[in-house]
Amino acid sequence: MKSKVIKFMNKNYLNESFPLEVRIYMIIYFELLFVSILSATTNTLLGKGTLGVSMQWAVIFFSIITLAASSDFRIKIHKPVVIFISFVYLPFLFFQTAGYEGTAMLFAPLSIFLIAIMFKKKRRIVLVVSAVLVYGACCIVQYYNPGLIVPHAAEIDKLIDLIVALILATTSISIIGVYVINAYEVEEAKIRQLADEDALTGIYNRRKLYEHLTVELEYAKREDVPLRVIMFDLDNFKKTNDTYGHSVGDMVLQHTASVVLNQLRSHDFFARYGGEEFFVVLRNTRMANALSVAERIRAEIENHQYDNGVRATISIGLAVSGRGDSVESLVRRVDEYLYKAKEEGRNRIVSQQE
Q: How many angstroms from the chain centroid is the CA of residue 258?
A: 25
Per-residue model confidence (pLDDT) at position 33: 77
| Residue from 77, 42, 72, 68 nearest 57 by CA | 42
The answer, yes or no, to whether residue 1 has pLDDT greater than 60, is no
pLDDT tens digits for 265-295?
888 999 999 999 999 999 888 999 999 999 9
Which residues are known catalytic residues? Answer: 276
**CATH number for the domain whose boundaries are 206-351:** 3.30.70.270
- The segment with the largest mean pLDDT, out of 75-79, 107-111, 218-222, 340-344, is 340-344
> CB atoms < 10 A from the CB of 79, how many?
17
The rounded distance, in Å, linking the Cα atoms of 273 and 67 is: 48
47 with 103: CB under 8 angstroms?
no
pLDDT tens digits for 214-272?
999 999 988 888 899 999 999 999 999 888 899 999 999 999 999 999 999 888 999 99
SS3 15: coil
Looking only at the bridges linking them, the beta strands covering 314-320 and 228-234 are antiparallel
228 with 290: CB under 8 angstroms?
yes
Of the pLDDT bands very low, low, confident and very high (cuts 50, 70, 90), residue 5 is low
Write the burial class of residue 38 (CB in 10 Å: 0-12 exposed, 13-18 middle, 19+ buried): middle
Per-residue model confidence (pLDDT) at position 266: 86
How wide is the angle at C-alpha 220 spanned by C-alphas 216 and 221, nearest 5°? 120
Q: Number of helices and strands (H, E) in the chain? A: 13, 5
For residue 187, CA distances in Å to 21, 180, 198, 329 come to 11, 10, 18, 36
The rounded distance, in Å, linking the Cα atoms of 147 and 154 is: 16
Q: Range with the lowest mean pLDDT among 108-112, 266-270, 321-325, 335-339?
A: 108-112
pLDDT tens digits for 159-203?
777 777 777 677 766 766 776 777 677 767 677 767 788 989 989
Type of residue at 312: A
Of the pLDDT bands very low, low, confident and very high (cuts 50, 70, 90), residue 40 is confident
The answer, yes or no, to whether residue 2 has pLDDT greater than 60, is no
The answer, yes or no, to whether residue 151 has pLDDT greater than 90, is no
How wide is the angle at C-alpha 178 spanned by C-alphas 176 and 182, nearest 5°? 115
The rounded distance, in Å, linking the Cα atoms of 142 and 129 is: 20
| Residue from 291, 305, 320 nearest 251 by CA | 305
Which carries the bigger pLDDT value, residue 16 or residue 331? 331
Q: What share of the chain is helix, strand, coil (3-state, %, to 5)?
A: 70, 10, 20
The rounded distance, in Å, linking the Cα atoms of 294 and 85 is: 64
Domain ranges of the chain: 2-196, 206-351
204 with 212: CB under 8 angstroms?
yes
Per-residue model confidence (pLDDT) at position 128: 93
Of the pLDDT bands very low, low, confident and very high (cuts 50, 70, 90), residue 27 is confident
Q: What percent of the chain has pLDDT over 90?
A: 40
For residue 4, CA distances in Å to 8, 11, 71 come to 6, 10, 19
Cα-Cα-Cα-Cα dihedral sign, residues 105, 109, 111, 112: positive
Of the pLDDT bands very low, low, confident and very high (cuts 50, 70, 90), residue 10 is low
pTM: 0.55
Per-residue model confidence (pLDDT) at position 58: 83
Average pLDDT, the chain: 84
Per-residue model confidence (pLDDT) at position 185: 73
Per-residue model confidence (pLDDT) at position 67: 81
